[in-house]
Structures are given as structure tokens and as C-alpha cells.
Amino acid sequence: MYNQDTFLDAATVESVVAQTVDELTPRNVFHFNSPRQAVVGEGSILTIGKLLRQQRVKHVFAVVDKTVHELGLLSSTLRCLKRANIDCTVFSGVEREPTTEVVEQALAMLTRCDADFVLGFGGGSAMDAAKAVAVMKSCNCSVDELTDPGFEGRRSLGLGAVPTTAGTGSEVTDISVILHIDERRKFVAKLPDLMPDLAIIDPGLMLGLPPLITAATGIDALTHAIESYVSASANPLTRALATSAITGIHNELPTAVGSGGCMPARLGMAVAAYKAGLAFCNAGLGLVHAIAHQVGAQYGIPHGVANGILLPYVMEFNALVCRSQFAAIAQAMGVARESMNEREQCDASIAAVRQLLRDIGLPESLSDYGARLDDFSELANEALQDICVESNPRNVTKADVMQLLERATS
């Protein structure tokens, strides 16, 4: 005899069926996230006091690159904050890429001053550190917890970012990369609340940037644009932003490197880097970054330089499944010709990237930084665990990564 409790009533069945249909119905849906407010243009940093006063900010905790602070680039910001009666505590201990130790030092200072707004000011390192400490202070968590893929903490402090380079895109992303020195590994935290509420992009802050740093950060932005364009998670909006960024970087980067005081070139690069940041934040990256995170930590290679060395080789690898996308990139870079077929346009895009790297004087081999064959097996293992590999358009094996490392070292 059947127990009536084992049978679902009609209303429950109808609800289950409706839920199943609702979950299966949406098609081609994509999400797009961006900072709540962005202010772009020469002198835009001078609006920071007014902007933060409107948000009722009382105390800013500024996380600044050491070199940026020594050069006095923060002075106008401090002046505007003082005029708006906003207190400011400065942490200037960020050098190169943010380490767990530096992040913990910044967190301790933030806890003591009890600021209500965290501002990352400088390159990607300062902004990544600022984003991390803002969430860690809000959630009372550690770096290990923050970088755990299952972390779901929410930020309660305000967060802003002011880039002094045109490249990392950290001012518009929900990502923070932290270096664990003891393990020689980079950990990537991705969380909606790592995205700043406010981004101020002032090309005037970039005028004194040395040529090599301009080149390296610019290639970082180009890598963001190219990888997001071909990403397995790309959508029409991210592709449009990536395409525009590729054109802008190809046109403006040589001038920005060779004539650093050219404001139109600096502005063009700043806007292009912003577009590339929005693109990859929403579409993801790929194998270039997955490998670059590992070799950068292992050999102390600046992130943009590592990306530049690896980019042409990974493009060749991905071309098997991305020929049409790379052909479109050739068109965006202005190197496609009507006489070319799709494959020739694809090859032209890779050749154009290599030529740009040579023109701006970036290294072309990992061997320049002491890369060793004996390290490649472990580096490949780590690259395959990197979050960026998930959106690479072509499936990747350990053997593939090791072969790419060997080619980039020869």
C-alpha cells in the first residue's frame, strides 16, 4: 500500500516544472560590471576632494607606490583632500608587486587610523594592495581567505583607484593579484567588491613615466585587450571595448614611449587601458596571464614584460581556434589588406604584435631573466591552476605550456 506522503501535490509539481523551465529558458545572457563612477581627463585628479565630500567621506587611507610618493605625484590629491576637510593617512610601502607582507602592513595601518575610504594611487601594485586591504578590513579576513576561490565577503569601506600608468586596468577590475614570496607564487582574488567605486584617470599623472615602464604597462594593456577579445567568455560588449583598445594602443603606444610628454598620446593610452580593463574584467583573460603570473613570481620579471614575451607565442598556439578573431585584430591594428585571406590576416596580427614589441624595446626571451628548463614542469602545473586559464579559447595541457615556455626561452 502506498503512503500518500510520498506523492507530490499538484501545486508542488507545477512549481518544480516552472522552475526547471525558467532555469533552462535564458539564452546568450551576459553580465557586465564597471565602477559606479569614472572621471577621465587631464587634471581630473583635482576633482577628488569634491567627489569624496559628496560621498560624505571623512578619512582617506591612501595606498601609494613608494616611487610615486617620492616623486610627489600625490601632492595635488593631498591638497584637494585638505581643502575638502578630509583627513588622509598615507601608506607608501608598496614596491613592485604587492606581497602578503606588504598587504598585512597596510592592513595594520588602516586598522589603526580607522579610515572610511581606501584609495589606491599608483601602478597596479598599489591599486591591487588597496583593493585587498579594503575588503580584508571590512571582512576581518586574511590574505589566504581573500584569495580562496570560495570567499564571499562583502566590502563596507569605500574604495577608489587612481592609476599613474596606462596598463594594468586595476582601477576598473574586480581582481587583485597578491604575491606570496615564500612560495614564489601569485594568487589571484576575484570578487565583485574588489571593483572600485570610483576611478579617476588623469593622463597628467603619467607624463613623467620612464619609457621602459610606459612600454611594459602598455603591452600589459594590449595583452588584456587581445586575450579578452578571444576569451571563451567574451560577449559583444567586451569585444567592442577590446577592439577599440587594440586600435588605440597600437596607434598611441609608440608615441607615448618615444615622447613621454605628449599629452594626446598619454590620454589615448589611458583611455585604451581603461577600455581593456573593462573588457577583461567581464570576459576574462587567458593563457598568457596564466603563465606570466608564474614566471613573474619565479624569476622576478615585471608583469608587463612577461606578458610581452609570451603574447606572440600564445597567439600562435590559440590561432588554431581563433583565426577569424585574430584576423579581426589585424584589422583593428590596421595591418590587414584586402588581398589577404583570413589566415594571412591572422598571421599579420601576430607579426604586428612582434613588431610593436621590438619598436618599443621590450625583451623578447625569458632567458634574459634566467629561466631554466628544470623549472618548467612545476611552472606548467601552476599555470594550469591559474584562474586565467579557464577562459582561454583553446584547451591546454601541461605539455602545451612546457612547449610554450621552451619557445619563449629560446
Tell me the pLDDT tens digit for each residue of 86-129: 999 999 988 777 888 899 999 999 999 989 999 999 998 999 99
pLDDT in tens, 227-266: 999 999 999 999 999 999 999 999 999 999 999 999 999 9
Q: Flag whether 215 is in a domain.
A: yes
Contact status, residue 382 vs residue 186, Cβ threshold 8 Å: no
Please tell me whether residues 224 and 365 are part of one structural domain. Answer: yes
**CATH number, residue 323:** 1.20.1090.10
* Tally of structural domains, the chain: 2
Q: Where in 324-370 does DSSP place strands (E)? A: none
Amino acid at 173: T
Please tell me whether residues 111 and 194 are part of one structural domain. Answer: yes
Please tell me whether residues 195 and 277 are part of one structural domain. Answer: no
Nearest to 135 by CA among 84, 176, 168, 185: 176
All residues at 6 or more sequence positions from 42 whose CB lies less than 8 Å from its CB, including other chains: 202, 203, 204, 263, 267
Query: How many angstroms separate the CA atoms of 197 and 38, rounded?
Result: 8
- pLDDT value for 41: 94
Please tell me whether residues 260 and 372 are part of one structural domain. Answer: yes
Q: Flag whether 67 is in a domain.
A: yes
Going by pLDDT thresholds of 50, 70 and 90, the confidence category of residue 4 is low
The answer, yes or no, to whether residue 33 has pLDDT greater than 70, is yes
Going by pLDDT thresholds of 50, 70 and 90, the confidence category of residue 72 is very high
The answer, yes or no, to whether residue 3 has pLDDT greater than 60, is no
Range 4-15 average pLDDT: 65
User: CA separation (Å) from 183 to 186, 294, 297, 331, 369?
Assistant: 9, 11, 9, 42, 19
Please tell me whether residues 218 and 137 are part of one structural domain. Answer: no
The answer, yes or no, to whether residue 182 has pLDDT greater than 90, is no
- pLDDT value for 276: 96
Please tell me whether residues 275 and 385 are part of one structural domain. Answer: yes
Q: Which domain holds residue 173?
A: 37-206
All residues at 6 or more sequence positions from 323 whose CB lies less than 8 Å from its CB, including other chains: 342, 343, 346
pLDDT in tens, 381-401: 999 999 899 999 999 999 999
Q: Flag whether 64 is in a domain.
A: yes
- pLDDT value for 152: 83
Query: How many angstroms separate the CA atoms of 388 and 290, rounded?
Result: 5
Please tell me whether residues 217 and 359 are part of one structural domain. Answer: yes
- Collapsed DSSP state (helix, strand, coil) of residue 10: helix
Range 353-369 average pLDDT: 96
- pLDDT value for 248: 97
Worst-scoring range by mean pLDDT, 19-23, 130-134, 258-262, 291-295? 19-23
Q: Flag whether 19 is in a domain.
A: no
Q: Where in 102-216 does DSSP place strands (E)? A: 117-122, 158-163, 175-180, 185-190, 198-201
Contact status, residue 178 vs residue 132, Cβ threshold 8 Å: yes
Average pLDDT score, the chain: 91
Query: How many angstroms separate the CA atoms of 391 and 131, rounded?
Result: 23
Q: Flag whether 45 is in a domain.
A: yes
Please tell me whether residues 351 and 243 are part of one structural domain. Answer: yes
Q: Flag whether 136 is in a domain.
A: yes
Helix (H) or strand (E) holding 40: strand 37-40
Helix (H) or strand (E) holding 144: helix 143-146
Q: Flag whether 9 is in a domain.
A: no
**CATH number, residue 103:** 3.40.50.1970
- pLDDT value for 183: 54
Range 29-35 average pLDDT: 75
Query: How many angstroms separate the CA atoms of 240 and 243, rounded?
Result: 5
| Residue with the three cell numbers 602545473 | 381
Please tell me whether residues 304 and 279 are part of one structural domain. Answer: yes
Query: How many angstroms separate the CA atoms of 144 and 134, rounded?
Result: 15
- pLDDT value for 21: 65
User: CA separation (Å) from 169 to 89, 205, 352?
Assistant: 24, 15, 23
- Collapsed DSSP state (helix, strand, coil) of residue 48: helix
pLDDT in tens, 275-290: 999 999 999 999 999 9
Which grid coordinates are listed for 340?
Answer: 589577404
Query: How many angstroms separate the CA atoms of 160 and 131, rounded?
Result: 8
Domain final residue, candidates 206, 221, 238: 206
- pLDDT value for 149: 79
Worst-scoring range by mean pLDDT, 11-15, 169-173, 371-375, 378-382? 11-15
The answer, yes or no, to whether residue 25 has pLDDT greater than 80, is no
User: CA separation (Å) from 41 to 51, 239, 367?
Assistant: 15, 24, 39
Domain final residue, candidates 186, 206, 226: 206
Please tell me whether residues 172 and 226 are part of one structural domain. Answer: no
Query: How many angstroms separate the CA atoms of 236 and 234, rounded?
Result: 7
Range 366-373 average pLDDT: 93
- pLDDT value for 191: 87
Q: Flag whether 27 is in a domain.
A: no
Please tell me whether residues 228 and 294 are part of one structural domain. Answer: yes
Q: What are phi and psi of 111, to 5 degrees?
A: -65, -40
Worst-scoring range by mean pLDDT, 116-130, 135-149, 280-294, 335-349? 135-149
Please tell me whether residues 253 and 199 are part of one structural domain. Answer: no
Q: What percent of the chain stands above pLDDT 70?
A: 94
∠ CA 279-359-171, rounded to 5°: 25
- pLDDT value for 225: 98
Range 302-330 average pLDDT: 97
Domain final residue, candidates 206, 231, 266: 206
Query: How many angstroms separate the CA atoms of 293 and 287, rounded?
Result: 10
- pLDDT value for 32: 75
